Structures are given as structure tokens and as C-alpha cells.
């Protein structure tokens, strides 16, 4: 049973436009959400996180939105740049429990 | 070192052989995770350690998989009698005591079973 779902395996966005990556979760007990970015042949790197007490967190070009009632979060990248092309993993955790990852979305930034 | 270190970076082994993967977490990080990524798949949780104990082993795919951690630092993931379906990138991550903070990943060990 997949507790964290990223339903789009891939996404293509024009350079300079907004990239929106979506993630749904099923466990209402999750209280911390994270986004990771992964380049080929490298380990994932932490990008941005949000606590369940917030509905928005910004860090430069990256903004994460959390909709608890819909059990949905999204990552916005504005403006998209070529270096943003990577696989993005959504992850969730509950208290002191393990981090659960989604299957990832491959983002292609088109020139 | 400053980051999570994994060795070897690549391992090719014959079906039926045992392999041992090593992870050196960031110094002072008490939580350590093992994940694997198979071709075209997401990150699959295997096991995590809090200190030297493993509260959750639910992700280990079979009894051929085992992991240990000693001294609250280095961890080894052992796969016995490897099968071709074990081929994947095995990723280790560590985080500070509170587990719901970001985990820092190593570069992974690419295991190929032939």
C-alpha cells in the first residue's frame, strides 16, 4: 500500500516557466513533509520541507504548499532553470518514524 | 568526512554469492536509513537504525537481507545468496536524533547481480 503517491512519472516544462510537482498521501498522521532532488548517479539531496502546522514554505525559487484536508502537497519551482532537470521525490514522516518516499517525478526543463 | 560515505560505489557479483555494503554516516547522526532504488522505481525503504537498534525492519524484502550497526556509527547491509532481482542502487542516509528532519544521503552502491 503506497502511502505517498506521485502520480506523474514525468513532466516537461519550458525554461522560465513554473514547474508544479504534485504529491498525495494517505496517512493523516504524517506531520512532516519533504522534497528531495536526485541527479543520475548521485544520492538524493534535500530540497525543502514543511511541517503540518504550516500550509506554505518558501526558499528562493522553491515553494511547497500543503493542503491537509486534501492530503496533497505540491512543489513549485519559479522560474524553472535547466539545472532543475532531475527526479524529484516527495517524502513524509510521522513523529519519530521512518521517512516514506514516493516513486518520484522526472522533471525535464526544455530550452 | 563531511557527508555520508558508502562503499563500494559499484559491485558486480555472481548470483548466489553474498555481498556486504557499507555506510559511514555523518558524525553525530544517530538515525541511519537504508533504501534501495530499482530501475524505474522509487525509493524503497529497507530498514532504519536509531543508535544501534533497528526499530523497523519491515522493509527488508526477505530473510536473505540483514543489517547491523555498531558503535552508533558504521552500518553494513548484507545480502546472502544474491538473486538477480537484488540488482539496484542501495542508498544509505543519516539524520540527527529527531527522525522527522531531513536525511542526508550517500551516493549509493550500485549492485549488479549477474
* pLDDT value for B99: 54
Chain B residues closer than 8 Å to A96 by CB: 50, 98-100
Task: Kindly tell me if the per-residue pLDDT of B25 is higher than 90.
Answer: yes
Nearest to B42 among A45, A98, A104 (CB): A104
Task: Kindly tell me if the per-residue pLDDT of B22 is higher than 60.
Answer: yes
CB neighbourhood size of A68 (10 A): 15
Distance (Å, whole) CA B64 – CA A42:
26
* pLDDT value for A52: 92
Give Cα A13 to chain centroid, integer Å.
Answer: 16
Please choose, from the candidates A110, A73, A107, A78, the residue with its C-alpha nearest in 3D space to the C-alpha of residue A93: A73
* Contact call for A97 and B106, based on CB within 8 A: no
* pLDDT value for A83: 96
What average pLDDT does the structure give for chain B?
90
Query: Percent of chain A having pLDDT more than 70?
Result: 98
What part of B 55-74 touches A (C-beta under 8 Å)? Answer: 56
Extract the C-alpha cell encoding A57.
Answer: 514554505
Chain B residues closer than 8 Å to A35 by CB: none
Secondary structure of A10-33 in HEC code, one letter for each residue:
EEEEECCCCEEEEEEECCCCCCEE
Query: Percent of chain B having pLDDT more than 70?
Result: 94
**What contacts 24+ positions apart, CB below 8 Å, involve B62-69?**
B67/B34, B69/B32
pLDDT tens digits for A55-89? 999 999 999 999 999 999 999 999 999 999 999 99
* pLDDT value for A94: 83
pLDDT tens digits for B28-67? 888 899 999 887 677 888 998 888 888 778 889 999 999 9
Task: Kindly tell me if the per-residue pLDDT of A43 is higher than 90.
Answer: no
* pLDDT value for B98: 53
* pLDDT value for A47: 94
Amino acid at each position: 500500500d503506497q502511502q505517498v503517491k506521485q502520480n506523474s512519472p514525468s513532466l516537461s516544462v519550458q525554461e522560465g516557466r513554473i514547474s508544479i510537482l504534485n504529491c498525495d498521501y494517505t496517512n493523516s498522521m504524517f506531520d512532516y513533509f519533504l522534497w528531495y532532488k536526485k541527479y543520475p548517479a548521485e544520492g538524493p539531496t534535500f530540497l525543502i520541507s514543511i511541517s503540518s502546522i504550516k500550509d506554505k514554505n518558501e526558499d528562493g525559487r522553491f515553494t511547497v504548499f500543503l493542503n491537509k484536508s486534501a492530503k496533497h502537497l505540491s512543489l513549485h519551482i519559479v522560474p524553472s532553470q535547466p539545472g532543475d532537470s532531475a527526479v524529484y521525490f516527495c517524502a513524509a514522516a510521522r513523529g519519530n518514524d521512518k521517512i516514506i518516499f514516493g516513486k518520484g517525478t522526472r522533471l525535464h526543463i526544455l530550452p | 568526512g563531511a557527508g555520508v560515505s558508502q562503499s563500494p560505489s559499484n559491485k558486480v557479483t555472481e548470483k548466489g554469492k553474498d555481498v556486504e555494503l557499507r555506510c559511514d554516516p555523518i558524525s553525530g547522526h544517530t538515525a541511519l536509513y537504508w533504501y534501495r532504488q530499482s530501475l524505474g522505481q522509487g525509493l524503497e525503504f529497507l530498514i532504519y537504525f536509531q543508535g544501534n537498534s533497528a526499530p523497523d525492519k519491515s522493509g527488508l524484502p526477505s530473510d536473505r537481507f540483514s543489517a547491523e550497526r555498531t558503535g552508533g556509527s558504521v552500518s553494513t547491509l548484507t545480502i546472502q545468496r544474491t538473486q538477480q532481482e537484488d540488482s539496484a542502487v542501495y542508498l544509505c542516509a543519516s539524520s540527527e536524533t529527531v527522525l522527522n528532519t531531513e536525511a542526508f544521503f550517500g551516493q549509493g552502491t550500485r549492485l549488479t547481480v549477474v
